[in-house]
Structure 1
Amino acid sequence: MNKSIFILFFLIAQLSFGQECMNVKFKIRGYFYAGSSQIDSTALGGFYVDKNVPKKLNAEIGKYSNSKDMELLVKPEMAAEYMEGIAGFKVFLINKTDSIMELPAQDSRLYLIRQVFYKNEWRDVEYLPSSWCGNSYHNVYIDPNDYWEFTAPCLKGKIEAKFRFQLYVNENLTIYSNEFEGSFNKRQLRKEQGHKPMGFMDPYNN
């Protein structure tokens, strides 16, 4: 997408809904939560179960992907509210294979993060927290011809760059999205957002 068109979409969204892009100076914690099409019978149990279950492909979503594989698609022109006051855009994970796909998760959080192309290499500007509780770790499943729909926050900063999302599936498969334009702050390459546990039942320190 032409960069000027991309910026125009977000200006319209912000004027319409009073939203702004996130201007932060740290790596954002992973936020892609996915429900499952089936139960993980091998998991210990006790993990957070998200309600964002896969949906059946319809004609509108199906036309986004011409691939017969599993595809991660960023649609920056599809403005959406990430959270109150924060502008976002749609991200789709589409399974057009003929198999049920199994993805690792922590409390329903996919191993999916944003990367920026900076100084001739791809670098993370988001991170995945690590749980000390084994019950947090499980798998989620998506059936053939299903898709997940997510909303990612729009970022803004001092450095203009191109971005993509990276999804770890297993040791043999990592999926990358299409690239898109945006901006970020340099400190997003180093410092993590961090997290303070909300009691003993919260197994995350970062």
Structure 2
Amino acid sequence: MREAKYYDQNIQSADEFSHISGDSIIVSLLNQDTILRIDIIHHSDDSIPLQTQDNALICTMEALNKNNQWLPIEYWPLSWCGNSYDGIDLKKGQSLSLMSKAPTGDYKTLLRYKILGFDTLYYSNSFAGNIEYCQFKEDSSTYI
């Protein structure tokens, strides 16, 4: 994606993004900082192939740690069933919207979303947020 923007206003509909000309992953705050909305807006001619698992877009959050490194704070649990994996092609003029609970904690940092394509990783813009620093510790009991 060539362009990503962060909106901290209350976004009501995808029509509010009609002025955006490039491809974008836009993260906006809803409900007074408790809900994040992730909009994937596609305007270029080629389709964007995105991977799904059990009909869900594979999307996780990353945060900037004290060493200025982007690290995952969410982990995607892999399925044991090969039939769980599929994909969608986002075509020109199409968009997708996802909702996520905004993380909370004592550590103020920058956050971003990572979305898995078939041959590309897509990243949203970075935006300010708070997490618990212990979220940087990988919990291997919840995924393969």
- 1:1-206 maps to which residues of 2 (within 5 A)? 59-63=15-19, 65-67=20-22, 69=23, 71-76=24-29, 79-80=30-31, 87-118=34-65, 119-171=67-119, 173-192=120-139
C-alpha contact 1:80 1:151 (8 A) present in aligned 2 = no
Structure 1: tracts of 5 or more residues without a match:
1-5, 11-56, 196-204
Counting aligned pairs with the same residue, the percent is: 22
TM-score w.r.t. length of structure 2? 0.79
| Distance in 2 of aligned mates of 1:146 and 1:184 | 32
| Distance in 2 of aligned mates of 1:193 and 1:187 | 14
1:154 Cα deviation (Å)?
1.1
Q: Report the AA paired with residue 66 of structure 1.
A: S
| Distance in 1 of aligned mates of 2:132 and 2:97 | 27
Structure 2: tracts of 5 or more residues without a match:
1-7
TM-score w.r.t. length of structure 1? 0.57
Q: Structure 1's 193 and 150: CA in aligned 2 closer, same or farther, altered over 3 A?
A: farther
Q: Structure 1's 184 and 146: CA in aligned 2 closer, same or farther, altered over 3 A?
A: same
1:66 Cα deviation (Å)?
3.1
Whose Rg is larger? 1
Q: Structure 1's 192 and 109: CA in aligned 2 closer, same or farther, altered over 3 A?
A: farther
Q: Report the AA paired with residue 27 of structure 2.
A: V
Please say which of residues 157-166 and 182-191 is displaced more in the overlay: 182-191
| Distance in 2 of aligned mates of 1:98 and 1:131 | 32
Partner residue, 2:3: none
1:49-83 CA-to-partner distances (Å, cap 9, x unmatched) read xxxxxxxx9642222x331x3x211112xx149xx
| Distance in 1 of aligned mates of 2:95 and 2:111 | 22
